[in-house]
Amino acid sequence: MHKVVIIGSGCAGWTAALYTARANLQPLVLMGAQPGGLLTTTSIVENFPGFPEGVDGFELMSRMQKQAERFGAKKSFGMVEKVDFSKRPFELTVDGENILAETVIIATGASHKHLDVPGETLLETKGVTYCATCDGALPIFRNQSLVVVGGGDSACEEALYLTRFGKEIFLVHRRDSLRASKIMAERVHAHKTIKPVWDSVVTEVLDAKQDKVTGVRLKNLKTNAESVLSCAGVFIAIGHSPNTGIFKGQIEMDANGFIVPKKGTMTNVPGVFVAGDCADHVYRQAITAAGMGCAAAIDAERFLAARNE
Ligand code: NAP
């Protein structure tokens, strides 16, 4: 029986682990499909306090993990398949095995959204990607025309990163102004290699018949004009959806699947807490996820203490 099981190993998960480990609760962190979370796919994180020169996303997550493990947090690489929150102790099925927990902190984060257009899935790993940091340096993208889709910070970050490898970067956005923060938008606008394509959406990734990306079909939303833009890669950065599918029917969520905390970080199930991007569609920053992880740990600790557990 575990006093605290933390599902997810991003900023929220490892911060919750650090705090519950220091409270002597020997938390178990279930690492999930992407150990270290989305931040491990980022290049330089410039806005995490305490790192004036910036810090590599993977490095930051490794440090958070080491810090929590130093105080006794344990990890397991299993994937949670099923949870039963109908009674305490809670029961989690992880790779076929049952785990019992007095409290659970859900920190499952969010995953990249898909465009859901023809060609996208078929050409994934053949020129369609959701992570410039992971794939941008591949030979197929070097000195080629590349398309980035989206207008937020992620899209700007991807476009700026790709300027190291691509010949020209087309930033395709469905409106005529960026949603990104001012500093990121200014960097994009100042970069000669990045060419915005405004008011446009990708309606198809070409060319499934050739089994590789050769371009995108575009539609201008203001004129309805269609065109084809040649490129060797499509980097999709249109936001994220919460990873909360396995909790459906047990934990209260909003219409988009984000978990809705009730009191502090407590969910509708007493003893189940939530932290990070799976419950946050507003701030979605590494530091806010870490802050929520800390709050969830303190809430879990107080919940157990109130029951003398
Ligand atoms: P986001 O801010 O939600 O932006 C998503 C972008 O994709 C928006 O421009 C949106 O268009 C567009 N979009 C959404 N669905 C689309 C669709 N189906 N087709 C075409 N375009 C679509 O997501 P994000 O950029 O991933 O950022 C998420 C959070 O992480 C934000 O809080 C951001 O500040 C943070 N972040 C920060 C940094 C940094 O500080 N360096 C880096 C990455 C992310 P509209 O604008 O029209 O809605």
Token reading at 56: 């590599």
**174-200 residue pLDDT tens:** 999 999 999 999 999 999 999 999 999
- Tell me the domains of the chain and their CATH numbers: 2-111+240-308 (3.50.50.60), 114-236 (3.50.50.60)
- Give me the active site residues, please: 131, 134-135
Ligand 1 atom at minimum distance from 47 CA: 40
Confidence at residue 309, expressed as pLDDT on a 0 to 100 scale: 62
Token reading at 165: 């490898």
Strand pairing category for 215-220 and 200-206 = antiparallel
Confidence at residue 284, expressed as pLDDT on a 0 to 100 scale: 84
**89-146 residue pLDDT tens:** 999 999 999 999 999 999 999 998 999 999 999 999 899 999 898 789 889 999 999 9
- Looking at the chain, the number of H-run helices and the number of E-run strands are 6, 19
Confidence at residue 123, expressed as pLDDT on a 0 to 100 scale: 95
For the chain, the first-to-last Cα distance in angstroms comes to: 12
Our answer on whether the CB atom of 157 is closer than 6 Å to any ligand 1 atom is yes
Q: How far apart are CA 4 and CA 29, in angstroms?
A: 9
Asked whether the beta carbons of 247 and 239 are under 8 A apart, the reply is: no
Substitution site in 48, 172, 179, 256 for ligand 1 pocket (most atoms within 8 Å of beta carbon): 179
